[in-house]
Amino acid sequence: MTTYTYFYKDTAALTGRSLRHILRSPDTIITTAVTPVALMLIFVYVFGGAIDTGTTSYPNYMLPGILLITIASGVSYTSYRLFMDMQSGIFQRFQSMPIARSGALWAHVLTSLVANLVSLLVVIGVALLMGFRTGVSVLGWLAVAGILILFVLALTWVAVVAGLTAKTVDGAGAFAYPLIFLPFVSSAFVPTGTMPGPVRWFAENQPVTAIVDTLRNIFTGQPVGGAIWVALAWCAGILVLSYLAATAVYRLRIR
């Protein structure tokens, strides 16, 4: 068997282990979905009537931002699970076994991807009940899925860095708080044109706005323009940098 074959088999086995932990504790997925759903209820039924989004209904306008908050909330559990594995010494035990060195990290990343996709489906289902509607084609849904998957992978590798370097359980998940906050200072919930100068500049030049605008335009059937390339560049840049940082830290921590 080739090295790649061993890597795929080992990663699949370790991913199965991580997924079984989630199945035994499904409250993590439920908790991940609760906060975004609560935010949808508040924004649609409390603030939505006071926010002018033109011809776009407010559930349609704010859903992309809610999806990104769902992901930011979900990856904090990846950091937590990785930290707990580090504390238990299981990575050191893996090193004494004939398994691929990087398989343990990829198992956490793939588990994060599966768990986040389930949470996103739950949130989209609730959004449909609240009035979200879209005439997007199958190709459009595939484009949305691709962008969200890329965003999940980018933030998950950031979570891996946090999980490997955290000193406490609280620290392992604390990195996600700024990520959850970013959509509030973007075009996710209100048009950036209503913001004061410095805040508007930040909102228009941070990654969330480009991603949100791209997803919103796909959902509403509008031209995505250059926003999609900016969104993909942000996601790819974060993914590459966080992956390199995570693998470097992993080599230092696990010798």
pLDDT level of residue 90 (50, 70, 90 thresholds)? low
Instruction: Report pLDDT digits (tens) over 144-169.
Output: 999 999 999 999 999 999 888 888 88
pLDDT level of residue 58 (50, 70, 90 thresholds)? confident
Q: Which of 51-65, 112-126, 175-189 is predicted least confidently?
A: 51-65
Instruction: Report pLDDT digits (tens) over 194-227.
Output: 889 899 999 999 999 999 999 999 998 888 888 8
Distance from first CA to last CA of the chain, Å, rounded? 25
Provide the H-helix boundaries in 187-226. Answer: 197-204, 207-220
Task: Provide the pLDDT for residue 255.
Answer: 63
Question: Does residue 10 have a pLDDT over 70?
Answer: no
Kindly write down the DSSP assignment for every residue of 222-244, as one continuous string.
---TTHHHHHHHHHHHHHHHHHH
> pLDDT above 70 covers what percent of the chain?
85
Task: Provide the pLDDT for residue 1.
Answer: 47
Question: Does residue 245 have a pLDDT over 90?
Answer: yes
Two tokens, residue 135? 């005439």
Write out the E strands in 74-128.
none
User: For the whole model, what pTM was predicted?
Assistant: 0.88
Count the helices and strands in the chain (H runs, E runs). 11, 0
pLDDT level of residue 101 (50, 70, 90 thresholds)? low
Task: Provide the pLDDT for residue 235.
Answer: 95
Residue 55: name the closest of 221, 226, 202 by CA.
221
Better pLDDT: 5 or 177: 177
